[in-house]
Every structure is written in structure tokens, then in C-alpha cells.
């Protein structure tokens, strides 16, 4: 037994010490014709970038149908003082704008306060948009360029959701990850059903919620 | 039915001639919109993108222009260089700033009188002070507008003797005419929106619109040339109380004034304030900024506090100081300059080398008046009583740009022989106030290199040469020669020291037997590197060649460095890719750099190449396993 | 009995869940009732006026004197002979103090028995952004970018994730880098008052439950995108930050972030001080936010220290106001109850680190001021650090850092990474988790 062990040790050492065996290549063979092509993902993989604060604000202005920041501010405030919107100056730092006078750098990632700011601004935009669009001729509707029928089934919702999806996220909803349309439809229905009495009707509140869910979406804020 | 048709129409329009675009296509288009237009695409733009006849290259080329693109590229260097000056820096020079003092008029009502701090006057009671004495108005100005005494009505005689009424430039568009009539908000109504003097400048103490202002007589003088004045007073012994009626001693005659008494002096020189009684702020006070108080930095104009999308989109304004006015326009010069290079697809090297610039009314006013105020109280020892070779020669400015022309930007093809892109702009020289700070930021911003200190000790050492000193040499062997390019531009300012007045090696500034330089030499010549034969200009020890070449030499050296091109490419690519470049990007960086150089250092082809690169176009954040999943 | 595929699926789900949530649950048990205050004296302070006082001419040291300083407002300035008609200052050493101060120390001198002073910090830089980053992160900048997280982000990541606001930064040089939880990203604001506006919500259009539904959906969306993503960080951060919205929006935080209300609630701070008055509200915010257990770390900046020119005359007053503010902050923390530990004061569980970019030259320059210099001091006020104690020193003739002790790489001065490593270790945080450099200096810690 001992001899066998010694022999094994020797052979292992010998194997370890001698040069590695060369394995000659074998003959290549073709895939059968019926085999589907093998796809290779060669796309570079990169983390998304945060939408620059300037681009966020310009997009916001455009969605408000405003030519200037002050015009957007006025439209957001309406006649309600600071209820829905304060002043742009209150939001600049939390939106991530740099302040070169004070050497404060641009924000390159989100933080909780920025998320809160996006909510504040998103609520203002969407609430004002339902107030405006649903009482305006179709040609003048900026965000809700459709008729908000009630009741609405899932396919009718999907058609309208597609308009919003294109508006905010820049692509058709049919290309969105699975389940998105259903999630937003559920949000719509739940909001409409449970909406307490406010300035907005249940349908308006439901569409505003869908709108908020898109302007605050990671695919809106990242690119 | 009609509603359903309307909806169908909207959706049909959206899908008209829809090409089968992939999700990556949409993401790419959205990214391009954000980067080149500055916002997300609209539905109409998406619809156009979806059409069969959409041409990526044509779209791209048509958007490598326009305000969104210019802003995007300008932002790259503004974020890097941060060319805005903060609140710690004030610039309200006494010779170019009119303060204002409220007195009690002959009728017992309040009356404002404008004056300059330190103005020489013939009367002992008021020489170097406000033009009305304590016996005339009841008080003296302690400092910064604080008073000692009790105001009393001034007599009409005293008022007329010491003050005059003027129609100043800030109230009248036609201020250069013999009798201005186009008053702000009355006959002058087409006012640039950013030109907003504060209410205190527009209304008199009773609240009525101001038609004329009262200013001390000396300040209202209009001559361009005065005479150096020496009062003949002896300097009082230390501890001697000031004369009756004065809080401060009488101004003593400057040594230079004594020596050159009676000689002419330009009224645009800041020395004229302290050395002449016949120099003022010019016709309509055009060479001075107004201030609403006697404070250190009085307020003057309402200006935007924050401009997230540029000055054309202010979000609120507030009364701001004289300093703020200057600093705002300094920054705007840099922004417009960069915007010009980007928008006109110029050779990017011009950002450092160009002698041209762009100015508007306030900047023209600054360069013609306040800019000279930094010089020449110390420089006069070298017979420089006004800037002889300014970095921006005011003679090259147009005559038809008024201080209120905030939106009229003019191209100035040549600022002068020492101009060098951003390197000689006030905003750069103030933000990076020391020679070393200037060198360091250029090294980082345009060569993508950092000065990284080794973790070493800094042993005490008598070695003045930081390029040799243990612990310092590692960084300073590179930094000192870079800083030397700015040896002829004074620190914290933009005064240029010409070689014929400030030789690099100056025998007049040699060390004496006690090893000291003459007092007037110390601010400009470095005792540590001077000897018994000559003094060496401060900052020049590391490289006299660089010192002689000046900022233009720095610009030439930087753009000639091979790193300049690759660094510019890196900055642009990193900005669009949203991440620093890594070694994995080496091939991309090399290819882009080659192209950048071949295309004449122009940014447009570079940006096009970046946006068409697979790293920008095809990158996504979707895991391959997901991508493959059925 | 689970098959292999089910086992993998369930384990993966458990691991995914265990990630941020699990860590949060675990950390809620760790040192979760300590608070941290980080103060940045922006611009570089003159240490010869407060921490490393020099009142004699020696070598290249030109002391502060009546020739270059406005001494009138400086309460602790007592003339000491220097020249014929120029006076320097007397050193200040309160009875019982082992620390010697300069007159800039203001009322903080009364708290000598709580101060741990570090002198002779080797900065190896005189650039503002680089010195600031080095002090706050322990790493020099590279290409203008911070390579490491700042100390407030580090502490927030370790100890603060369950707070409503793990780290709030009012112009403190915060940076976020590395694999930190996204909730630890410091909330950077210019002024604390601006936070209040952002948290305001109107009830006339929708109710909080409706907003919460949207937030919940968005968290779900972020999670679903993250599950498909190659790089999850930003998306995970989204989900986490959305998740903290409810806490931020509930509870009427208006008072905490309303500057006028803060000033009314905490009138003891000097809001009219010439140099630090505008920043005093950050101290009031700090106390209010800690009293309500809303934050873990608060960082803010004090200014006016970068005195290159004849504004050096005011350096002593700038320091006095800054240290008076810190003294008032300590006094206020002494009289404020800890939010979760019955019978304890906030100050018992509050740890303060005061730092600057670097110090100023020992010489006076041609403009009458002092320029940048690669030496520094720092101040720690913490029950875990040795009180009434000075560590490190600078040489008497050139004010350069001297060797402080033998480190693993030999005898050398203490540097910011060592200070930060020691600070982290005081709270049982392994320094190497965040710091590439630096060694713990046990001499600084209370045994």
C-alpha cells in the first residue's frame, strides 16, 4: 500500500513537472443548416446617465407649452399661490444644477431630495395638464392628446397610454418591458376608484397619476 | 363616434409610414435629442423619426448647430473651469465707483449727492473726503456710509459751490449729447430687459422720478486729461490728530505726485483720483458706476440671481451690487466667447489662443472705465501711471455700444497683442487669482493632468526654489514653469506689466548691501531670486522664457502639446458618454483624436464622431441574458 | 422538496431581498443613536491665530499683530509685545487646559475639556478643491474628480440608512463614490430653507394615498428595470430613494426646513454676525433635525477664511464668529434631549469634526494677507476622542507638519486619511472599507 502511495506521489509530481501536453486541434465541423443563427450581444454595457438638469427643465417647459421658465412657473402656479409650485429658484440646487459662483458641482446621481423635487414638479405639471388639456381642443393638447373616455377597458387604456408613453419616455409602449401597461392600468383604475373629492374628477386624477408615473419614471430621468 | 375618430386620427398620425424602429433606436434618438437639442423629443419629432424617410445623418448634421448644441458644448468647459466669480470677490474700485450720500437740502428735504471716496479737492476741509464739510452738512462720513454728527440743512450757496447737477449715463440714453432728453422709462422706452437700475437710482428721496442728479463738482469734470496735483503739505507726524472738522488726517502728497507735480495725467488712470483735482468721471459720469449708498460695494442694478438656462431666461432678479454687475458680465464674456467658437465650429485651440472676443455694452463700459482702476498705485514707481499695454486695449472697442446695451454682442477681432483666449479674460484671472492657480487649472483642464502629491514629508527647508525643494519638487517642477507664463499678469488682477517698464532682470531692483530690494520693487521683484546685480521679476525664476512669452506663450505651448488634442477629445467624449473614459476606450480615444486633429481641431466633426460611435449609439444597460430571453 | 431550479430561484430572491433591505435592517441595530456634524471652514484658516498659535517672529513666521489684524472685535486679544509700536497677542490657556489657543478660538476655549485638536496635518496640496477633497475624503482629486466618498457619506452609509435624511449637506464638500447605498447620497442644498419647499404638497388635487400609489408603482418599475440591468446602481438607488419619500413627506417637516421658524426656535445663534451670520441657520437646522431624529449626519460650511489680501485683517474675527457658533452649538446640544435615549443629552451622542482646506502661510504677503500653505489643523469634539488633548505639531520656524509618530510606513506627520481612519474606527467602522490610505491613530481615542 505504501509503495502504491509513493508511486502515486511520484507520478503526480512527474505529471506536475513535465511540460503540458499539446492537444492538437481537431477538424472543424459546420452547424447543421437547420440550426438557428447564434446571436451575440456586442452592445457596450453602460450605466444610464442622469438627465442633465437643463434638459429636465427645458423638457418641462415644453410640456407646459411655455416659451420661458417664468411662463412655465406662472402656468404651474396658476391662481393658487405656492400650493402646487413655488419658484424655480427654490428647486435649482435640489434639481442638481451646479453653482459655479459658489463652486457647487453638478449632481451626477439622484438623491432622495432630488426625487422629492421631481415629485413636486411632476405633480404640478400633471395636475395642470389635466386641468388644461381635457378642456382644450384636441389640436391644443400637449400631453393628453386623446379623449379620456370613461369607462375604459384595458385595450382602450393601452392606446391612450401609448400617447403618454411616447410623450414622456420617447418610445411606444408596446416596446416597454412586459407588464408595464398592466401596472399603469391598475394604477389608473385604483386611483379612479378610490379618488376622494378634490378639484380633480376621478378620471382626471387617474390620468394625472399615470402622467406622474411617467414624468417621474427612471426612463424619463435617466438616459 | 366623433371622439373615437379623433383618437384614431391622433394615433394614426403618430404611426404614419411607421418604420420598424427598435427600442435601441428610440433610446438613441431620445439621447441625441437630449444632448443636441437640450430636451426630450416631442411626439411630433418622434413621428418624424419613425418615418421611412428619416435620415440619421441628416438629422444629426442639422442638429450639430443651434442653441441646444452650443449650450451643450459650452457647458463642458463651464463645468470644468467654473468661470463665475463668487461673493468673496468684490470689485468696486474707488476711482470708478460713485457712492451716494443723503444730505439735508436747503429746503429741509433729503437730497442725494454722488461722490468718489478719496477724491482730491482743493479745500482742506474736504480734500480726500465728501465734498461738503461737517460745518456745511452737519456730519462727516466715518466709513462705508456710516456718519458721525447730526445732519442739518446745507445752504444753497455751499451746495452750488461744491456740487453740480448732471444728467448721467444710467438715466439717459443720449447721455453724450449736450442736453440729454431720452430719459429711462419716459422717452427712452426700448430698454434692454437686463438693464434695470434699481429704484433708488431712478427716484429721488421724495419718490419722484429722478431727472438730474447732484454730484460733487470734482467728480463731474469731463476732461480726459488732468494735472498732477501736489498740495505742498508735509506729512504729519504719527499720532498728530486730524485738523478740526476732519475725522482723518489731510491726504499727504504722494512721492510720485511731488516729483511730477504739474505734469499731465490721464483722467482714466486710477491715480487721477488721488493725484489730481481736475479729473472726474467724464461727460455724464460715463466712466463711473453709480452706487446707491456709501457702502463698500453699493447696489446699482437689478440682475438675475440665478440663470439656469442662461441670461435670456432669468428666473427672478434682485438689486445687486456694483461688483455683481461686473462679475456677471465677465462671466458672460467667457460664455459668449466659448459659444462663438462652438457655434461657428472654430478651431478649438482658439479658446486659448484667440485674440478676438465678444463684448456687449456693459463689458465695453467696463473695459473703457473700471478695468483701468486696478492700476497703478504700486506700478507708478516704474513710471507706469496708467496701463500701457492692457490685455484688452479699450481703443479697440466700438464707440456705439452703450452700457445699457446688454443684449448687443459685438465681435472684437483683436483685443491686443497680449490677448490669449480665455487666459486673459477678467473672469479667468480673477477666479484663478494666483499664477500657480492659473497654471494648475490649465494643466488639468486642457491637458487632463493633475498634480498629485506623493505622500511625503515636507521638511523645513530654506530652499526658495520650489522646483528643488524636497517634498515640493514633484509637483512644482512642472507647475512653476507653467505659472511663469503669468509672471507679467498681476495676481488677483489683469494688469499687464510690459517688458520695457518691468524688465525681467532689472538692475534698478537689485539688492542693496543689506540684502534688501528698494521698497517700490518688492511688489514686483522677488528678493529670493534677486542679487546684487539685478532683481528678477516675481514668478519668472522657473523660466524667464515663459515669463517673457506671457499668457500667449502658455496658450501656444498648451495647444502644441499632443495631450491637448486627446484631452479635448476625452472631455467631449466623457461628457456625451456620461462617464470617464477608461483603458477600454483607448482605441476610441485614439481614433477620435486622430480625426480631431485631421479636421482642424473643430468640435463639430468630433461630436459627430462621438455620437456615431458604438459606445454612444449602441450602448445599453440590458443584461445579455435578458436580451437573449424569449 | 425543492428541485434545483426552484432552490436557485428562491435563493436568488432571498439574496436580492437581503441586499439593501437586509443591510438596512441589520444596521438599524448598529450604533443608530449617534449623530454627526461635519463643518468645513471653507477657504483655508490661519492656524497661527487659533490652534497652533504663534505670537513671535521666528524663522519665516510673521505673527498676527496690530499691524495686520483688526483686533478691536477680538474679545480674547490681549496685546503682547512684538515691535516698537506693533503688538501681537497673548496666548490663551484656560485654567486646566492642556491646549494653548490663539485669540481666534472665541468662546470655544471654554470647551477645552471636550476638544481633541490635531495639528501638523500634512496636506501636500495648496489647491482649494484638492485640499477640501483631501480633508473630506482622504484622497486627492484626480482629474478634478473625487475618488472617494466624503466622510458624511461614509457615516451615512454605515449608520444612517434608516434615517429620513441620512446625510444633509449645506455646502459641505460632500462626494459620493464607490459602492455605497444610494440612500447615503448626501442631500446637497445651498440653503436648508430650500428643502422645505421641495417637501410641500397640496391636498386640493390629490391625496397622499394617491401620491403613494404612484411612488409604489415607480419603485416597482425601478426594481423591474434593475432586475434586467447590467448596471443596477442607479436603478436600485431610484427604488431606495423613492422608498424614503413617504418618510420625508410625512410628519410636517416644514418647521425643520423653514429658516424663519428655525431662527425663532433657536434664537441663541447669532444670525446677524458679520461673517457667519448667514450660515448660523445651519446650526439651528442641525439641532432641530437631530432632536427629531431625522438625520444621521449634517454637514455645513463656514466661510470667509480665504484671506489673501488686506481682508486678512478680518481673519481673526471670521474665526471668532465661527468658533463662537460652534460653542453655541455645543451649548445647545447640551440642553437638548436625545430623541431616543431617555435621560441623555444630544451632546452625549453627537460627534463633531471641524476641518479646512489647509492653513495659511506663516508669512504675510505683499497684499497684507496670507496665502495657502500645506499644513493644517482639525478639531474633533466627541466622547470617543481624547479630550483636552493636542496631537501633532508643526515646526517652529516654518509652520510645516512635523513627524507625529511612527506609522507603518515610517515616521511621518499625521495626514487627513489617518484622521478619517481614526474617526471611522471610533465607531467600529473598518476604515479600509472606505479609505485606501490612512491608519488609525489610537492615541487620539479615549481609552
Note the ipTM here. Answer: 0.90
Query: How many Cβ contacts (< 8 angstroms) between chains A and C?
Result: 164
CB contact under 8 Å between C371 and B434, yes or no, is yes
Query: CATH code at C151?
Result: 3.40.720.10
What pLDDT shows up at residue B80?
A: 94
Are B82 and A100 within 8 A, CB to CB? Answer: yes
CA distance B312 to chain C (A): 23
Return the number of other C-beta atoms located less than 10 Å from residue C208's C-beta: 12
Taking alpha carbons only, the member of B581, B355, B351, B354 closest to residue B445 is B351
Residues C298 and C435 in one domain: yes
Nearest residue, CB atoms, C224 vs list A102, A110, A177: A177
Task: Give which of A83, A106, A116, A122 to mutate to test C binding, by max C Cβ within 10 Å.
Answer: A116
Q: SS3 of C199, please?
A: helix
CB contact under 8 Å between C140 and B434, yes or no, is no
- 268-307 in chain B: CB under 8 A from chain A: 305-306
CB contact under 8 Å between A200 and C221, yes or no, is no
**What residue ranges do the domains of chain A occupy?**
53-221
Are B541 and B466 within 8 A, CB to CB? Answer: no
The beta-strand segments (E) located in C237-336 are: 295-302
What pLDDT shows up at residue C194?
A: 76
* C19 found inside a domain: no
Nearest CA in chain A to B316: A89
Nearest CA in chain B to A143: B43
* C7 found inside a domain: no
DSSP B221-266: ---SEEE-----PPPPPTTPPPPTT-SSPPPPPPHHHHHHTT-EEE
What pLDDT shows up at residue A7?
A: 58
DSSP C352-420: EEEEES-EE-SS--TTSS--EES---EEEE-TTB-SSEEE--B-TTT--B---EEETTEEE---HHHHH
Dist. CA C436–CA C139, nearest whole Å: 8
Are B530 and B509 within 8 A, CB to CB? Answer: yes
Domain holding C222, by residue range, is: 201-250
Taking alpha carbons only, the member of A169, A210, A195, A182 closest to residue C214 is A210
Check residues A13 and C263 and name the one with the higher pLDDT. Answer: C263
> Which letter does DSSP use for residue B37 in this model?
I
Task: Give which of C42, C59, C230 to mutate to test B binding, by max B Cβ within 10 Å.
Answer: C230
Q: SS3 of C77, please?
A: coil
Query: Per-residue pLDDT for C43 more than 70?
Result: yes
Dist. CA B153–CA B146, nearest whole Å: 18
Q: SS3 of B358, please?
A: strand
Residues C172 and C193 in one domain: yes
- 318-337 in chain B: CB under 8 A from chain A: 327, 331
Residues C69 and C207 in one domain: no
> Which letter does DSSP use for residue B454 in this model?
P
Dist. CA B419–CA B415, nearest whole Å: 6
Nearest residue, CB atoms, B78 vs list A44, A100, A149: A100
Take residue A27 and report the three cell numbers written for it: 477538424
Strand partners, B408: none
- A109-166 pLDDT, tens digit per residue, is 898 889 999 999 999 999 999 999 999 999 999 999 999 999 999 999 999 999 999 9
Residues C136 and C166 in one domain: yes
Check residues C8 and B256 and name the one with the higher pLDDT. Answer: B256
What pLDDT shows up at residue B8?
A: 42
Nearest residue, CB atoms, A93 vs list C190, C235, C242: C190
Dist. CA C65–CA B16, nearest whole Å: 81
CB contact under 8 Å between A191 and C242, yes or no, is no
Look at residues C184, C215, C250 and tell me which one is the last residue of a structural domain: C250
CB contact under 8 Å between A208 and C197, yes or no, is no
CA torsion A78-A79-A81-A83 (nearest 10°) is -70
Residues C217 and C314 in one domain: no
Taking alpha carbons only, the member of B550, B545, B543, B549 closest to residue B529 is B543
* Mean predicted confidence (pLDDT) in C422-446: 96
* C129 found inside a domain: yes
The beta-strand segments (E) located in C69-120 are: 79-81, 87-89, 115-118
Mean pLDDT lowest among B599-603, C135-139, C183-187: C183-187
CB contact under 8 Å between A198 and C203, yes or no, is yes
Look at residues C250, C271, C288 and tell me which one is the last residue of a structural domain: C250
Residues C208 and C283 in one domain: no
* Mean predicted confidence (pLDDT) in A167-172: 97
Nearest residue, CB atoms, B42 vs list A57, A62, A147: A62
From chain C, the residues in CB contact with A113 under 8 A are: 165, 187-189, 195, 198, 248
Taking alpha carbons only, the member of B275, B288, B533, B281 closest to residue B380 is B275
Query: Per-residue pLDDT for C401 more than 90?
Result: yes
- Residue entry with cell 446637497: C188
Query: Per-residue pLDDT for C196 more than 50?
Result: yes
Take residue B260 and report the three cell numbers written for it: 511730477
- 514-553 in chain B: CB under 8 A from chain C: 522-523
Q: From residue B44, give the alpha-carbon distance in Å to each of A47, A141, A143, A175, C431.
A: 28, 13, 12, 19, 54
Return the number of other C-beta atoms located less than 10 Å from residue C72's C-beta: 8
Nearest CA in chain C to B473: C124
* Mean predicted confidence (pLDDT) in A35-57: 86
From chain C, the residues in CB contact with B444 under 8 A are: 143-144
Q: What are the residue ranges of helices labelled H in C293-375?
A: 315-334
Are C170 and C189 within 8 A, CB to CB? Answer: yes
* Other chains touching B, judged by 3 or more CB pairs under 8 Å: A, C
Residues C101 and C151 in one domain: yes
Check residues A33 and C121 and name the one with the higher pLDDT. Answer: C121
Take residue C49 and report the three cell numbers written for it: 491665530
Take residue B35 and report the three cell numbers written for it: 444632448
Q: From residue B558, give the alpha-carbon distance in Å to each of A157, B350, B566, C312.
A: 60, 11, 12, 35
- Residue entry with cell 500653505: C373
Quote the number of domains for chain C.
2
Dist. CA B571–CA C295, nearest whole Å: 37
- 243-272 in chain C: CB under 8 A from chain A: 244-245, 248-249
Residues C162 and C70 in one domain: yes
Dist. CA B567–CA B358, nearest whole Å: 26
Nearest residue, CB atoms, C228 vs list B456, B523, B623: B623
Q: SS3 of A32, please?
A: coil
Return the number of other C-beta atoms located less than 10 Å from residue A68's C-beta: 14
- C144-180 pLDDT, tens digit per residue, is 788 999 999 999 999 999 898 999 999 999 999 988 9
Dist. CA C347–CA C35, nearest whole Å: 9
Nearest residue, CB atoms, C205 vs list A47, A110, A200: A200
Take residue C57 and report the three cell numbers written for it: 517672529
**Distance, first Cα to last Cα, chain C:** 54
Residues C120 and C168 in one domain: yes
- 114-173 in chain C: CB under 8 A from chain A: 128-129, 165, 171
- 65-94 in chain B: CB under 8 A from chain C: 80, 88
Look at residues C216, C234, C250 and tell me which one is the last residue of a structural domain: C250
What pLDDT shows up at residue C210?
A: 94
CB contact under 8 Å between C140 and B523, yes or no, is no
Rg (CA), chain C: 24
Query: Per-residue pLDDT for C23 more than 50?
Result: no
Q: Which stretches of chain B drop beneath a pLDDT of 50? A: 1-17, 630
Nearest residue, CB atoms, B453 vs list C43, C124, C230: C124
Residues C240 and C356 in one domain: no
Residues C214 and C335 in one domain: no
Q: B554: part of which helix (H) or strand (E)?
A: helix B544-560
Nearest residue, CB atoms, B444 vs list C144, C228, C412: C144
Region label for B232, one of left (φ > 0), alpha (ψ between -120 and 50) or beta (otherwise): left
Residues C219 and C187 in one domain: no
Amino acid at each position: 500500500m505504501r509503495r502504491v502511495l509513493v508511486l502515486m506521489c511520484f507520478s503526480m509530481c512527474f505529471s506536475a513537472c513535465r511540460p503540458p501536453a499539446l492537444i492538437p486541434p481537431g477538424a472543424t465541423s459546420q452547424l447543421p443548416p437547420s440550426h438557428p443563427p447564434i446571436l451575440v450581444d456586442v452592445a457596450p454595457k453602460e450605466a444610464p446617465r442622469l438627465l442633465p438638469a437643463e434638459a429636465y427643465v427645458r423638457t418641462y417647459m415644453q410640456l407646459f407649452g411655455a416659451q420661458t421658465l417664468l411662463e412655465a412657473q406662472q402656468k404651474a402656479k396658476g391662481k393658487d399661490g405656492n400650493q402646487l409650485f413655488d419658484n424655480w429658484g427654490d428647486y435649482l440646487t435640489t434639481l442638481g444644477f451646479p453653482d459655479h459662483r459658489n463652486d457647487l458641482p453638478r449632481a451626477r446621481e439622484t438623491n432622495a431630495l432630488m426625487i422629492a423635487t421631481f415629485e413636486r414638479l411632476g405633480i404640478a405639471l400633471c395636475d395642470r395638464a389635466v386641468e388644461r388639456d381635457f378642456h382644450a381642443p384636441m389640436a391644443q393638447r400637449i400631453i393628453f392628446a386623446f379623449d379620456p373616455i370613461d369607462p375604459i377597458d384595458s385595450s382602450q387604456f393601452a392606446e391612450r397610454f401609448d400617447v403618454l408613453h411616447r410623450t414622456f419616455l420617447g418610445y411606444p409602449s408596446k416596446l416597454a418591458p412586459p407588464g408595464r401597461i398592466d401596472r399603469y392600468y391598475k394604477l389608473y383604475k385604483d386611483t379612479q376608484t378610490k379618488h376622494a373629492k378634490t378639484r380633480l374628477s376621478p378620471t382626471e386624477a387617474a390620468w394625472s397619476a399615470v402622467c406622474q408615473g411617467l414624468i417621474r419614471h427612471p426612463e424619463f430621468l435617466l438616459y | 363616434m366623433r371622439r373615437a375618430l379623433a383618437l384614431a386620427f391622433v394615433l394614426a398620425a403618430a404611426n404614419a409610414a411607421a418604420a420598424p424602429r427598435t427600442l435601441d433606436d428610440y433610446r438613441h434618438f431620445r439621447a441625441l435629442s437630449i444632448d443636441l437639442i437640450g430636451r426630450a423629443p416631442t411626439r411630433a419629432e418622434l413621428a418624424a423619426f419613425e418615418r421611412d424617410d428619416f435620415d440619421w445623418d441628416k438629422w444629426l448634421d442639422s442638429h450639430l448647430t443651434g442653441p441646444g448644441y452650443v449650450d451643450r458644448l459650452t457647458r463642458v468647459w463651464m463645468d470644468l473651469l467654473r468661470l463665475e466669480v463668487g461673493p468673496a470677490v468684490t470689485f468696486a474700485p474707488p476711482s470708478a465707483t460713485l457712492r451716494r450720500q443723503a444730505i439735508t437740502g436747503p429746503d429741509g428735504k433729503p437730497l442725494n449727492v454722488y461722490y468718489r471716496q478719496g477724491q482730491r479737492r482743493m479745500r482742506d476741509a474736504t480734500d480726500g473726503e465728501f465734498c461738503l464739510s461737517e460745518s456745511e452738512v452737519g456730519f462727516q462720513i466715518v466709513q462705508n456710509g456710516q456718519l458721525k454728527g447730526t445732519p442739518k440743512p446745507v445752504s444753497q450757496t455751499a451746495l452750488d459751490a461744491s456740487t453740480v447737477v448732471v444728467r448721467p449715463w444710467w438715466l439717459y440714453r443720449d447721455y453724450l449729447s449736450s442736453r440729454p432728453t431720452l430719459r429711462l422709462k419716459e422717452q427712452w422706452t426700448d430698454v434692454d430687459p437686463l438693464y434695470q437700475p434699481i429704484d433708488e437710482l431712478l427716484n429721488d428721496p421724495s419718490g419722484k422720478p429722478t431727472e438730474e442728479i447732484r454730484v460733487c463738482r470734482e467728480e463731474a469734470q469731463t476732461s480726459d486729461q488732468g494735472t498732477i496735483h501736489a498740495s505742498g503739505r508735509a506729512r504729519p507726524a504719527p499720532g498728530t490728530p486730524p485738523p478740526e472738522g476732519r475725522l482723518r488726517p489731510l491726504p499727504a502728497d504722494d512721492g510720485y505726485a511731488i516729483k511730477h507735480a504739474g505734469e499731465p495725467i490721464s483722467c482714466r488712470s486710477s491715480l487721477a483720483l488721488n493725484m489730481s483735482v481736475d479729473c472726474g468721471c467724464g461727460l455724464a459720469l460715463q466712466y463711473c458706476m453709480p452706487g446707491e449708498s456709501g457702502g463698500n460695494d453699493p447696489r446699482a442694478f437689478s440682475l438675475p440671481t440665478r440663470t439656469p438656462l442662461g441670461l435670456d431666461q432669468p428666473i427672478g432678479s434682485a438689486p445687486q451690487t456694483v461688483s455683481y454687475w461686473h462679475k456677471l458680465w465677465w462671466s458672460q464674456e467667457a460664455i459668449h466667447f466659448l459659444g462663438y467658437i462652438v457655434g461657428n465650429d472654430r478651431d478649438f485651440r482658439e479658446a486659448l489662443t484667440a485674440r478676438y472676443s465678444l463684448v456687449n455694452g456693459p463689458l465695453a463700459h467696463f473695459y473703457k472705465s473700471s478695468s483701468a482702476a486696478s492700476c497703478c498705485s504700486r506700478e507708478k514707481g516704474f513710471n507706469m501711471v496708467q496701463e500701457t499695454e492692457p490685455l484688452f486695449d479699450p481703443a479697440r472697442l466700438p464707440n456705439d455700444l452703450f452700457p445699457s446695451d446688454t443684449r448687443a454682442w459685438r465681435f472684437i477681432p483683436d483685443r491686443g497683442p497680449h490677448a490669449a483666449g480665455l487666459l486673459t479674460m477678467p473672469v479667468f484671472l480673477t477666479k484663478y487669482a494666483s499664477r500657480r492657480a492659473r497654471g494648475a487649472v490649465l494643466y488639468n483642464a486642457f491637458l487632463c493632468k493633475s498634480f498629485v502629491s506623493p505622500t511625503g514629508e515636507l521638511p523645513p527647508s530654506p530652499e526658495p526654489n520650489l522646483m528643488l525643494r524636497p517634498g515640493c519638487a514633484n509637483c512644482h517642477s512642472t507647475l512653476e514653469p507653467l505659472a511663469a507664463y503669468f509672471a507679467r499678469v498681476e495676481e488677483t488682477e489683469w494688469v499687464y506689466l510690459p517688458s520695457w517698464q518691468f524688465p525681467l532682470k532689472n538692475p534698478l531692483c537689485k539688492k542693496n548691501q543689506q540684502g534688501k530690494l528698494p521698497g517700490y520693487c518688492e511688489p514686483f521683484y522677488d528678493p529670493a531670486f534677486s542679487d546684487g546685480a539685478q532683481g528678477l521679476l516675481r514668478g519668472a525664476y522657473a523660466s524667464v522664457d515663459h515669463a517673457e512669452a506671457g499668457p500667449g506663450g502658455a496658450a501656444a505651448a498648451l495647444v502644441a502639446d499632443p495631450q491637448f488634442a486627446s484631452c479635448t477629445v476625452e472631455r467631449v467624449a466623457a461628457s456625451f458618454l456620461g462617464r470617464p473614459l477608461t483603458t477600454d476606450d483607448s482605441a476610441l480615444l485614439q481614433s477620435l483624436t486622430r480625426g480631431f486633429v485631421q479636421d482642424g481641431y473643430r468640435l463639430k466633426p468630433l461630436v459627430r464622431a462621438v455620437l456615431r460611435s458604438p459606445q454612444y449609439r449602441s450602448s445599453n444597460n440590458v443584461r445579455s441574458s435578458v436580451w437573449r430571453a424569449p | 422538496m425543492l428541485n434545483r431550479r426552484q432552490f436557485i430561484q428562491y435563493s436568488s430572491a432571498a439574496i436580492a431581498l437581503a441586499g439593501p433591505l437586509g443591510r438596512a435592517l441589520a444596521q438599524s441595530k448598529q450604533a443608530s443613536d449617534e449623530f454627526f456634524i461635519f463643518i468645513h471652514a471653507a477657504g483655508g484658516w490661519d492656524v497661527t491665530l487659533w490652534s497652533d498659535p504663534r505670537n513671535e517672529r521666528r524663522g519665516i513666521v510673521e505673527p498676527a499683530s496690530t499691524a495686520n489684524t483688526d483686533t478691536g472685535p477680538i474679545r480674547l486679544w490681549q496685546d503682547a509685545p512684538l515691535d516698537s509700536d506693533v503688538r501681537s497677542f497673548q496666548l490663551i490657556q484656560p485654567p486646566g487646559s492642556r491646549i494653548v489657543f490663539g485669540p481666534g478660538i472665541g468662546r470655544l476655549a471654554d470647551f477645552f475639556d471636550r476638544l481633541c485638536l490635531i495639528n501638523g496635518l500634512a496636506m501636500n496640496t495648496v489647491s482649494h478643491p484638492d485640499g477640501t477633497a483631501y480633508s473630506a475624503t482622504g484622497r486627492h482629486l484626480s482629474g478634478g474628480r473625487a475618488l472617494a466618498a466624503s466622510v458624511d457619506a461614509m457615516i451615512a452609509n454605515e449608520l444612517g440608512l434608516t434615517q429620513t435624511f441620512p446625510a444633509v449637506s449645506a455646502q459641505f464638500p460632500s462626494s459620493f463614490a464607490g459602492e455605497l447605498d444610494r440612500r447615503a447620497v448626501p442631500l446637497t442644498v445651498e440653503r436648508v430653507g430650500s428643502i422645505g419647499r421641495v417637501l410641500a404638497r397640496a391636498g386640493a388635487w390629490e391625496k397622499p394615498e394617491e401620491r403613494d400609489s404612484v411612488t409604489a408603482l415607480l419603485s416597482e418599475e425601478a426594481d423591474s428595470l434593475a432586475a434586467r440591468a447590467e448596471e443596477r446602481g442607479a436603478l436600485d438607488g431610484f427604488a431606495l430613494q423613492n422608498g424614503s419619500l413617504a418618510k420625508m413627506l410625512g410628519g410636517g417637516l416644514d418647521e425643520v426646513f423653514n429658516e424663519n421658524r428655525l431662527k425663532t426656535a433657536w434664537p441663541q445663534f447669532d444670525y446677524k454676525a458679520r461673517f457667519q451670520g448667514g450660515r448660523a441657520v445651519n446650526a439651528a437646522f442641525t439641532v432641530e433635525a437631530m432632536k427629531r431624529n431625522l438625520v444621521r449626519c449634517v454637514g455645513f460650511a463656514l466661510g470667509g477664511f480665504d484671506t489673501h489680501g488686506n481682508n486678512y485683517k478680518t481673519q481673526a474675527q471670521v474665526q471668532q464668529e465661527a468658533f463662537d457658533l460652534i460653542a453655541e452649538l455645543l451649548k445647545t446640544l447640551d440642553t437638548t434631549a436625545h430623541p431616543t435615549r431617555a435621560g441623555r443629552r444630544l451632546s452625549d451622542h453627537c460627534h463633531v469634526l471641524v476641518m479646512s482646506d489647509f492653513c495659511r502661510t506663516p508669512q504675510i504677503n505683499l497684499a497684507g494677507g496670507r496665502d495657502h500653505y500645506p499644513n493644517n489643523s482639525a478639531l474633533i469634539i466627541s466622547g470617543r476622542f481624547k479630550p483636552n488633548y493636542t496631537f501633532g505639531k508643526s515646526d517652529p520656524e516654518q509652520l510645516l507638519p512635523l513627524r507625529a509618530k511612527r506609522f507603518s510606513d515610517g515616521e511621518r506627520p499625521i495626514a487627513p486619511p489617518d484622521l478619517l481612519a481614526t474617526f471611522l474606527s471610533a465607531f467600529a467602522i473598518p476604515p479600509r472599507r472606505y479609505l485606501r490610505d490612512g491608519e488609525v491613530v489610537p492615541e487620539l481615542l479615549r481609552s
